[in-house]
Amino acid sequence: EDKVVQSPLSLVVHEGDTVTLNCSYEVTNFRSLLWYKQEKKAPTFLFMLTSSGIEKKSGRLSSILDKKELSSILNITATQTGDSAIYLCAVPPEYNYGQNFVFGPGTRLSVLP
């Protein structure tokens, strides 16, 4: 069964700290991995990583895909209180094979002032 695991499940840091969130996956027919940020409402898209695009960066956020280790990390530098959210990692289905869209449990990040 396809599986996505995230660690840590919860993290509390102070503003200015750098954090690394981890996501590992066990899926058949891997095509891409998505990172989402969920604050009080709906998840919002951060990055999509594929075999041809294994590193993405946007401002203080960056993400790397390690296909050999079947994992990805999301880095946030110089954290701000606005970064407090649940960060979700997901592996979408290969529709030709009828896979399910699998989300990890999320990492709850709290950034204290």
The residue among 107, 32, 104 whose CA lies nearest residue 67 is 32
Q: Which is nearer to other proteins, 104 or 111 (CB)?
A: 104
Does residue 93 bind other proteins (CB under 8 A)? Answer: yes
Burial class (CB in 10 A: 0-12, 13-18, 19+), 75: middle
**Tokens found for residue 80:** 């701000």
Residues 13-52 that bind other proteins (CB under 8 A): 31-32, 34, 41-45, 48, 50
- Round to whole Å and give the CA distance between 47 and 97: 24
Does residue 99 bind other proteins (CB under 8 A)? Answer: yes
Least distance between other proteins and beta carbon 45 (Å) = 4
Q: Which residues bind other proteins (CB under 8 A)?
A: 31-32, 34, 41-45, 48, 50, 88, 90, 92-96, 98-106
